[in-house]
Structure 1
């Protein structure tokens, strides 16, 4: 199986630690995986060349760009000459074989075939060996690429929950933006992308198109096709709204418990998730993807940290609560709710199962009448961290992204109300500092006055 070949090559792959959830961070991780796969192909190519040498084949393999070529000493091409007047010359033959593990197998077979022709002295320069372009990519349409998009995507990526999530999103974009009966070429890719009016959707389309172009070796300058990002309006909930929102779970349950639905108490899971996201600034998936409940309730967990599993967007991290008092307020150590969350998440064995529970979490927000989304609670943490005066690096690490991403998030969603809070806090602190300085001057003068009186008292004592 193709997938098995590539995933076997990723078994020893370890991604570098990152706290950057931005496109640049994700792109860096993808490039690391591509580099790892290229290294594996180079290792396998060396092994193939050793086998060819052992079999006394007169052909070797080389890697050039994204292709594997055959190298051999052959009769002169028609019209070619040799400066040493010989009738043979070393050539590198391109058969449009991709530089991947499947291509390597094909290249080795072609090398043996060419070696047999050389040994039998029956080699001829035909269209195949003259480098005439193979017709395999001519008139291929987007529908055909879509059908094998999974194989293409995972040829250079380790298959895990993170990459499965990315692939699923990319496949939706592929189907939405590229017509299946349209021929894949530079012009049609550019036309398809130019029809996307939304800057964010076009950016998604570009990410998918770049994978297609890399696979088919189509050269496009995507920078020219990007649209400027226009920030959308988003109301991030204030702390009072967040606290009121938590209470809505219980109210909804009380209003509907008479329906005798055996799953109604599952609201405890989603109320707990609400509190965890609100207090720790977690991504919703970080609540449900292999949570370490045993650690969270452990007596050794003195700082009440939440451990994010390594198999999440930006890897493992240990998160401190932004509002320690909310642990009690939101009943985050509720044993029944935590046990229910553990039982539910222990059953998750695939990306699709994880997606279902994350989607259900969003549905609960709508069900109980909340006017914001789960991710807004995370953004609220980024803003609150700034208002709390938490250093940027500490806040960014806690949220699992870069300082650049953290700054961009709280600046984008920083409302007038939050600006007023920040300015009032700064002014109050300034006023407080002024009062402290005045008190300090007063106390210094008082100390000086008392010191003088003490000296006078001592002097009078001596004179008496």
Structure 2
């Protein structure tokens, strides 16, 4: 007896889904309204199909039949949601404002499902770490995330919870305004929330930079930096030889707090005349070489004998931030009348005074020329004016 197979009708009946009948009715309404879109079911998921603009990575120039991968559940709630979405898509197509960014990529699902801020931040966190892989040291990335992003994202979530009626942009502005005006924390907050908004494709009516205020390099311009004599005299207040070395190396080379512990001193200890040191790749701004200014401080502070304090520098168990905080703590302990960073600023001003090119100084400090010129504008301007006056007098 020949083998029999189920008829096509039976196979079709078996493949039917409880949502198919109401789905067909919705599609009929779409057709009658000439919406140009159709809901299709693929297994237990619902998607939209229609004539849509080319995707960002498509070589095509004209609209063509495509699927919007909404992947909503094939149930009554999913059908209700996709019907609403279809109307929004149709309106945007008519207005020529349709964007694939709202339906593709890591943030698309967040927008479609109305995910809470915590979920959106979690997706941004993955993006943050992935985008820096192979570019920055994992320890540096972790420190940046924990110190420059987490505090402000926590504040954002708290404000959103306190004001459930706020939209995300409103919660972002409220978070920024909750920080102290004209402060570094305000700037960092703006930077973190701007990055989040950009990642989520959220349009902010007012750029967050407008809220930065007056904090910034003007603080460096206005602060009184220690003189060379004061730096030499203060050195004597430190009784511990290891912390004397830290102080001396920062004053002579303009290092950041943590860079003292992540530098190669082999040229210095070998007796090399130039006494240059190498700041290692593990630091905040990566590898760069630094020369002493002034050179005579190498001997004044006995820097050829490297005596570092016993500090945990294993970046799998600590961070650059924590290492740097240990230096600040010792400055307070010895009642040093200026901050560790004042030694760095004083070094920069010293290089300006001796006429070292700004590009060279910036490279040795591990930052861009733009940052260097902006930070030390006052002293650079004075140097240039002095040189111009001297040149004019020489011609007179």
Report the TM-score, using the length of structure 1 for normalisation: 0.55
CA RMSD of aligned residues (A): 4.1
Going from structure 1 to structure 2, the CA distance change for 1:247 and 1:149 (only over 3 Å counts) comes to farther
Match runs of 1:246-257 below 5 Å: 246-250=235-239
Deviations along 1:251-293, whole A, 9 cap, x unmatched? xxxxxxxxxxxxxxxx33322121111111111122123x224
Name the structure 1 match of 2:211. 226
Q: Which has the higher contact order (CA 8 A, sep 6+)?
A: 1
Going from structure 1 to structure 2, the CA distance change for 1:430 and 1:279 (only over 3 Å counts) comes to farther
Match runs of 1:54-453 below 5 Å: 78=31, 79-80=33-34, 91-95=65-69, 127-128=81-82, 131-132=85-86, 136-137=110-111, 140-142=115-117, 145=120, 150-158=125-133, 160-169=138-147, 170-176=149-155, 179=158, 181=161, 182-183=163-164, 185-199=168-182, 200-220=184-204, 221-223=206-208, 225-230=210-215, 231-232=218-219, 233-250=222-239, 267-289=240-262, 291-298=263-270, 301-335=272-306, 337=307, 340-341=308-309, 344=311, 347-350=313-316, 352-411=318-377
5+ residue gaps, structure 1: 1-74, 97-109, 115-123, 251-266, 438-464
Alignment partners' CA distance in 2, 1:271 and 1:296: 16
Name the larger-Rg structure.
Answer: 1
Shift of 1:141: 4.7
Deviations along 1:6-50, whole A, 9 cap, x unmatched? xxxxxxxxxxxxxxxxxxxxxxxxxxxxxxxxxxxxxxxxxxxxx
Going from structure 1 to structure 2, the CA distance change for 1:423 and 1:131 (only over 3 Å counts) comes to closer
Going from structure 1 to structure 2, the CA distance change for 1:155 and 1:424 (only over 3 Å counts) comes to closer
Q: Higher helix fraction: Structure 1 or Structure 2?
A: 1
Alignment partners' CA distance in 1, 2:317 and 2:293: 29
Alignment partners' CA distance in 1, 2:180 and 2:276: 43
Going from structure 1 to structure 2, the CA distance change for 1:398 and 1:157 (only over 3 Å counts) comes to closer
For residue 295 of structure 2, give the secondary structure of its aligned residue in structure 1. coil
Going from structure 1 to structure 2, the CA distance change for 1:81 and 1:222 (only over 3 Å counts) comes to closer
Deviations along 1:81-102, whole A, 9 cap, x unmatched? 99xxxx9965333346xxxxxx
Q: Conserved in 2, the CA contact under 8 Å of 1:160 and 1:311?
A: no
For residue 92 of structure 1, give the secondary structure of its aligned residue in structure 2. strand
For residue 278 of structure 2, give the secondary structure of its aligned residue in structure 1. strand
Alignment partners' CA distance in 2, 1:88 and 1:394: 58
Going from structure 1 to structure 2, the CA distance change for 1:350 and 1:245 (only over 3 Å counts) comes to farther
Going from structure 1 to structure 2, the CA distance change for 1:192 and 1:176 (only over 3 Å counts) comes to closer
Shift of 1:298: 3.2
Alignment partners' CA distance in 1, 2:369 and 2:122: 39
Total equivalences in the alignment: 306
For residue 91 of structure 1, give the secondary structure of its aligned residue in structure 2. strand
> Which 10-residue stretch deviates more, 200-209 or 235-244?
200-209
Deviations along 1:368-416, whole A, 9 cap, x unmatched? 111211111110011111111222222222222222222222235x59x
Report the TM-score, using the length of structure 2 for normalisation: 0.63
5+ residue gaps, structure 2: 1-26, 37-48, 52-63, 89-107
For residue 68 of structure 2, give the secondary structure of its aligned residue in structure 1. strand
